[in-house]
Structure formats: structure tokens, C-alpha cells
Amino acid sequence: MTVKAGDAIPEVVLKYFKDGVQAIDTPTLFEGRKMVLFAVPGAFTPTCSERHLPGFVEQFETFRSRGIGVACVAVNDPFVMHAWGEQLGVPDGLWMLSDGNGDLARALGLEMDASAYGMGLRAKRFALYADDGVIRQLFVEAPGEFKISGAEHVLAHLD
């Protein structure tokens, strides 16, 4: 079942790369702060690399000035997420998180089967806004679309 506004972020451990591979659980990531988490189907894929992540990089300071943290997550390993972030100039403070086994995608009910494309289980393209670990808004894209989960749209629709 897909999460909805008012639901708590499920407890999952994610990975990231900073002086080696590190782990962070979702309560630690979300507790006591406002956060936008956006998911991409895959690092280095066209829409993700040309539009989705770059939009959040461009708007990162706007989110930060509003007291909102930003995190990108994909069903990729932490090394890939780190390399992708470096290639696209992700600023310090924008989390590049690995959901390597798709645990978060499944826990949110936002997984998709991309086996037909040789990609296995992936996260749907989405963005969510959470305050203190509770989802306030959720923007889930229809398959193949990029209309409502980008930085500009999310900023314009934050409550």
C-alpha cells in the first residue's frame, strides 16, 4: 500500500558515501527537521541526470533558506550515488542516499518493476515533504512522466 500524507516515514537504513560508506536510518534523517526526499529510478539515467537532480541542485539554497533539507534517493549503491553527485556538482548538505535493495521504495509502496529494461526493482519517480518524520505532501509521477516531483513544482506547492 502506498503511503499518504499523514503517514510516518517507515524505518529503513539507507547508505551514503562520506569518507567511506556510512549508514543512516530514516528516524535519524527525518526526526526534528523538515525534509524533501525525492526519488529517481536510476542514477545516470537521462531524465534523472538532465532534469530531476539538477533542479534540486539549482534550488538547494532556496530549500535551505526555508529551513528544509533535501535528499535524493535511488535504488543504486552508495558508490554510484556518490559518483553521480560529484559529476552533477551536488552541494554539501544535499544527501545522496542509496536504497540499494529497494527497502525504502517497498516500505513506502513506491517501488516499480523495471525488469523489462534490465533494471530490476526501482523506486518510482516521486518527491515527498516531511516534517519531523511525518509525510505532509507526496508527489508521485505517472510512469514515464516528469511533471510534479521536480524542485520548482515542489517549492511552489509546499504548505
Known catalytic residues are 48
User: What residue has cell string 530514516?
Assistant: 26
Tell me if 124 sits within 8 A of 141, measured CB to CB.
yes
SS (HEC) of the chain: CCCCCCCECCCCEEEEECCCEEEEEHHHHHCCCEEEEEECCCCCCHHHHHHHHHHHHHHHHHHHHCCEEEEEEECCCHHHHHHHHHHCCCCCCCEEEECCCCHHHHHHCCEEECHHHCCCEEECCEEEEEECCEEEEEEECCCCCCCCCCHHHHHHHCC
